[in-house]
Amino acid sequence: MAKIRQSSFRRILVTRILLLFVPVLFVGEMVALNKARSSLLKTARQNLTESAINKGEKIVDAIASLKSNLLSASQTKVIQSGSPSKSQKFITELAQQLPTNIECIQLTNLQKGNIIASSCGDKAIGELSSSFSSDNVDIKAILPPKAGTTGKRDPQNKLQLMLSVPVYNRNGDLAYALSLQTAFYQQIANQPGSLTGSTVIIAEDGTILLHPLADRVGTNIQNNRDAARLKSIVKKATAGQNDSIHLYFTDGKELVAGYTAIVNPITQQQQQKWIILAVTSVENALFGLDEIKLILIVLTVGLIGASLLASLYLAPKLARPVEELRDYALNIHSHHSAQPIPHNFKIREFNQLAQALDQMVERLKAWAEELEIAWKEAKTANQIKSQFLATTSHELRNPLNIIINCVRLVEDGLCDNREEEMEFLKRADETAIHLLGIINELLDISKIEAGKLSVVTEPVDLRRILLEVINLQSVNVQKKGLQLKCELGNEPIPINADGSKLKQVLINIIGNATKFTDEGSITIATEIHVRDGKSQVIVSIKDTGIGVDPTQQHKLFRPFVMVNGANTRKFEGTGLGLAISRNLIELMGGRINLESAGLHQGTTVLIILPLIDISLLPNSEEGEETRGSRYSKVRQDPPSEIYSSSRAVVDGEKGETCEVSFPPQPSVLPTFPT
């Protein structure tokens, strides 16, 4: 493939890209400026609306706090006593504790009309209300004198309120009035770019209570140049809207205002509102637009210059690595394993691209290897499944043959006497129970795979369940002539578990220990551990049997996986018991682990379950004698002839460490060919 000539590449950059790039760049600059202006105005309107809401909330909270403080002060004994000296001291201390916007606090005698104590001299704050209601605060707005009236206008432009509360003397008579004068939002010059805005407060009747221009305070919005928009704001705010609008408060200067409404704190009626506005100029809202223009101009010039440099000087440097990478990518199927990818370019981005391409090739190789491994694993899994089906079929066929042969012998009358018939029927019954256990395991593993296996937990005594299982399994231990050791302690072990499912797990684990142990002993022990402040019991079942290769131990708890098919055939079984046991124990909030030093070195299974309060056990207050009787009954549940030849049985009453040995006994039941 012919390489593009440098002159042609440069000509494309100059004539086709650059000539289209410059007009698009200028159009984009205009669009960006308009978008920036719109965004700045939108941000300003949102900020001003939020500022108005915050200002309104602050006024409401401040008035509520002042009312609470004023009511609390009016109920003090010092104020109720009317003592000038004590009241003056109290008011002076109160003025120091209250916020700085409190300008004056006065205690006035309502009957005489004189000031008893004041924090601002002898001048009265304002005219008191003619009547007070019990435990109610009277609020008035202090407005500057109207034009043509006597009085000096306050040079500081701020919202001034007078709060008064009645004070009752010790006899319960209305005697005094406690008043304070407070000021909100004294107008100060905002920093350029600030969007908190100046504060404007308008009453619902149109009276301007606070304005950036002092001469507008006390006037009505009807006399304003932008009266129509102001009336619209009052109407929308009283209807519950929070929004922004453009105004012309000052001649020839456009403003942006956010507004909201609060309940009139003077009347305290929901129908009466104050409209709070946060106002700033459009010029201030667009503060920073000039900087954006300058940045866009510099960016435009820089992009044009960079384009010229790229088209005139960088074409060869750009074309060569691209062509080399292209040639490598086109021929990667034939030489990628032998020829390395091009690298060491002068441009870092192309080196990164070459590295990424190399990593992609390596990932493709890894994926190919993973696919091959997955295919082998799938093939192995299919073989395991086939082996499991063959094993299960054998395990199902043998019991069925035994049952059929036993039943036919009895049915055909081939037995010598009734005792022999009962012996065959007993063998058929035991084999049917064994077959039912295999089917139950298959059903349980199906429920596990479907996520439908569940347990019903309740407080149970683990020690009692262990005793029951040990007594049941002692028959098998007796037949194999093994030594049974148990260390269960002499106290109940309270746990939260499903008793029948836990018994199933223990029977399976102890049964496996018995099945895979030809000589030696089986040790069953319990131990209480405290870990991270939580108590747990560890049940260990240790045998001296055939053991497990450490490299194969992780497979034992997988369904449909058998560590050694020869052992399975020798000892029978489906290989599902441990998988089911682990799921059951985990559903009860516990764990189960298997440890073995190696082949012919025995196996230890650990079952770990959390302990609960012993008081939760049923009949937890029974005496030792009662519990001993219960355990004696448990030992007697199996047929009595089972223990006729044994030297000892687990002592359930005392719970002492026991060691039980059973002489091996040959089976007297008949066997049949499979």
Distance CA 487, CA 540 (A): 10
For the chain, which residues make up each domain, given as ranges? 1-313, 314-453, 455-661
- Identify residue 483 by its one-letter amino acid code: Q
Say which CATH topology domain 455-661 has.
Heat Shock Protein 90 (3.30.565)
Structure tokens belonging to residue 420: 């022999």
- Minimum mean pLDDT range among 182-186, 562-566, 595-599: 562-566
Residues 86-94: contacts with CB within 8 Å, 24+ apart?
87/116, 87/117, 88/116, 88/117, 88/118, 90/117, 91/117, 91/118, 91/119, 92/119, 94/69, 94/119
Q: What is the pLDDT of residues 182-236, one digit of tens each?
A: 887 765 566 777 778 888 888 888 888 888 777 788 888 888 777 888 888 888 8
Q: What are phi and psi of 414, to 5 degrees?
A: -90, 0
User: In this predicted model, what pLDDT tens digit does every residue of 159-185 receive, in sequence order?
Assistant: 888 888 888 888 888 888 888 888 877
Task: Reduce the secondary structure of 590-633 to three states and give it as a string.
Answer: CEEEEECCCCCCCEEEEEEEEECCHHHCCCCCCCHHHHHHHHHH
For 66-173, strand residue ranges (E) read 102-109, 115-118, 138-142, 159-168
Measuring CA to CA, how many Å separate 617 from each of 501, 595, 614, 654, 659?
A: 18, 32, 6, 19, 29
Residue 16: the pLDDT is 67
Instruction: Please report, as a single letter, which amino acid is at residue 149.
Output: T
| 642 pLDDT above the threshold of 90 | no
pLDDT for 13 equals 57
* Amino acid, single-letter form, for residue 664: P
pLDDT the model gives residue 135: 62
The per-residue pLDDT for 650 is: 44
At residue 230, the pLDDT reads 83
State which H helix or E strand residue 321 sits in: helix 315-330
The alpha carbon of 457 is separated from its chain's Cα centroid by a whole number of angstroms, namely 27
Structure tokens at 264: 């009139």
Tell me the pLDDT of the chain averaged across its residues.
76
Using CA atoms, how far residue 472 sits from 54, 456, 457, 510, in Å, is 77, 23, 23, 10
Helix (H) or strand (E) holding 204: none
**CA 126, 127, 128 angle in degrees (round to 5)?**
115
User: Residue holding tokens 């900020």?
Assistant: 47
496: three-class secondary structure by DSSP: strand
pTM as predicted: 0.42
120, 106 Cβ separation under 8 angstroms: yes
Task: Output the CA angle 207-209-214, nearest 5 degrees.
Answer: 110
Find, among 197, 196, 193, the residue nearest to 288 by Cα: 193
Q: Name the CATH architecture for the domain at 314-453.
A: Orthogonal Bundle (1.10)
Please give the single-letter amino acid code of residue 234. V
User: Encoding tokens for residue 184?
Assistant: 């909100």
**CA–CA separation, 356 vs 325, rounded Å?**
11
Q: Which residues are CB-contacts of 419 (< 8 A; sequence separation ≥ 6)?
A: none
Q: What's the pLDDT score for residue 543? A: 93
Q: Of 159, 158, 181, 168, which Cα lies nearest the Cα of 91?
A: 181
* Structure confidence at residue 146 (pLDDT): 61
Answer with the residue of higher pLDDT: 354 or 11.
354
Tokens read off for 525: 């022990």
Which residues are 109's β-sheet partners? 176
Neighbouring residues of 166: CB distance < 8 A, sequence distance ≥ 6: 74, 132, 133, 134, 136, 174, 176, 177
Give yes or no for a contact between 547 and 599, defined as CB atoms under 8 angstroms apart: yes
User: Contact at 8 Å (CB) between 594 and 582?
Assistant: no
Q: Please report which residue ranges of 491-544 form alpha helices under DSSP H.
A: 499-515
64 C-beta neighbours (distance < 10 Å), count: 12
| DSSP H or E run through 53 | helix 19-74
Tell me whether residue 584 is exposed, middle or buried, using C-beta atoms within 10 angstroms of its C-beta: 0 to 12, 13 to 18, 19 or more: buried
* Count of helix runs (H) and strand runs (E) in the chain: 16, 18
- Does the pLDDT of residue 59 top 90, yes or no? no
pLDDT, one tens digit per residue, over 255-280 is 888 888 888 877 766 567 888 888 88
Higher pLDDT pick, 540 / 149: 540
Tokens of 262: 């609060």
Q: Return the percent helix, strand and coil in the chain, to nearest 5.
A: 50, 20, 30
pLDDT tens-digit map of 599-608: 888 999 999 9
Estimate to the nearest angstrom the gap between the alpha carbon of 335 and the chain centroid: 51
**DSSP string covering 386-417:** HHHHHHHHHHHHHHHHHHHHHHHHHHTT--SS
Say whether 249 sits in a helix, a strand or coil: strand
Nearest to 218 by CA among 169, 160, 171: 160
Taking residues 447-466, what's their average pLDDT?
A: 80
Between residues 68 and 560, the one the model is more confident about: 68
Say what the pLDDT of residue 611 is.
92
**Measured on CA atoms in the order 177, 178, 181, 182, is the torsion positive or negative?**
negative
Q: Which of 408, 619, 608, 409 is nearest to 526 (CA)?
A: 608
Radius of gyration of the chain (CA): 47
Q: pLDDT exceeding 70 applies to what percent of the chain?
A: 75
Whether the per-residue pLDDT at 664 is higher than 60: the answer is no
Instruction: Give yes or no for residue 651 having a pLDDT over 50.
Output: no
> Do 365 and 636 contact (CB within 8 A), yes or no?
no
pLDDT, mean of residues 58-66? 86
Query: In this structure, are strands 159-168 and 658-661 parallel, antiparallel, or unpaired?
Result: unpaired
In 3D space, the residue among 626, 631, 582 whose CA is nearest the CA of residue 608 turns out to be 582
